[in-house]
Amino acid sequence: MNPAITHGSEPAILCQGVSKVFHTARGEVAVLRNVDLRVERGEYLAIVGKSGSGKSTLLSMLAAIDSPTRGTVTVAGVTLNGLSEAASASWRGRSVGIVFQFFQLLPGLSVLENVMLPMDFSDTFQGRRESRARGLLARVGLSAHAAKRPGELSGGEQQRVAVARALVNDPQVVLADEPTGNLDSDTSRSVNQLLTGLAQDGKTVIVVTHGAVDSIPYSRVLTLADGSVVNDESRRALPGAHATGGVR
């Protein structure tokens, strides 16, 4: 058992009977089928499965980017069903950090400005936003690039900026959708080390991945197939949970 995992009455994430159906010209397509999922605070969870298994759709539900056709999704104590688009965006900016495969950085803003964007949704670091953002850039090794535009950075550097941006409001839940799918092996290793550091610091980290999972110390691996959970494997404890030197 990972010592960073906190079991209690309120998990980090709770999905109950979650289904998602898309309506197409050819009829209904069920992408998720009656998914139940409970993720405790501090878990380091990988969601795996073949393309089309529903992994990214499930992550979109957890980020309030999409909503279920049936069932309920509760994240960080908030039930996401029925939130308006504006309320979802505000909640997302405050409560979760998201790392996308294709970085999603705004090309017209500097690296520092990109990292600071989610702070528009929170007053947690009021009066010290820039110092908070610069501190995170230092932790991901990019202090010298704060004034650059994203297009001046390598893919791996852009993904590290995205990790810093995901952490800027100090969310307890971090969601990563194929965060290394667009990177070479060495850069992928660096990004995976960053995400592992977050989990070691006690954050709840959920990673959707096509990659191998045996080389990464996930505390749990969830396998989807055809929109259903077909395997849920708990694994060994994270080494060095709550160790110093991670990225907070």
Produce one character per residue of 114-149: b if its CB has 16 or more CB atoms within 10 Å, e if not.
bbbebbeebeebeeebeebbbbbbebbebeebbeeb
Residue at 188 is within a domain: yes
pLDDT by residue (tens digit) across 89-117?
889 888 899 998 888 899 999 999 999 99
Q: What is the pLDDT of residue 82?
A: 83
Residue at 239 is within a domain: no
Residue at 156 is within a domain: no
Token pair recorded at residue 177: 């959708």
Q: Strand pairing of 44-48 and 220-225? A: parallel
Per the CB < 8 A criterion, the answer to whether 119 and 129 are in contact is yes
Residue at 123 is within a domain: no
pLDDT by residue (tens digit) across 150-195?
999 998 899 889 999 999 988 889 999 988 887 888 888 888 888 8
pLDDT by residue (tens digit) across 112-154?
999 999 888 877 787 888 999 999 999 888 999 999 999 999 9
Tokens 């850069």 appear where? 187
Residue at 163 is within a domain: no
Range of the domain at 188: 13-104+172-231
SS3 6: strand
CATH of the domain at 62: 3.40.50.300
Residue at 90 is within a domain: yes
Residue at 115 is within a domain: no
Residue at 1 is within a domain: no
Q: What is the pLDDT of residue 241?
A: 47
Per the CB < 8 A criterion, the answer to whether 79 and 73 are in contact is yes
Q: How many domains does the chain have?
A: 1
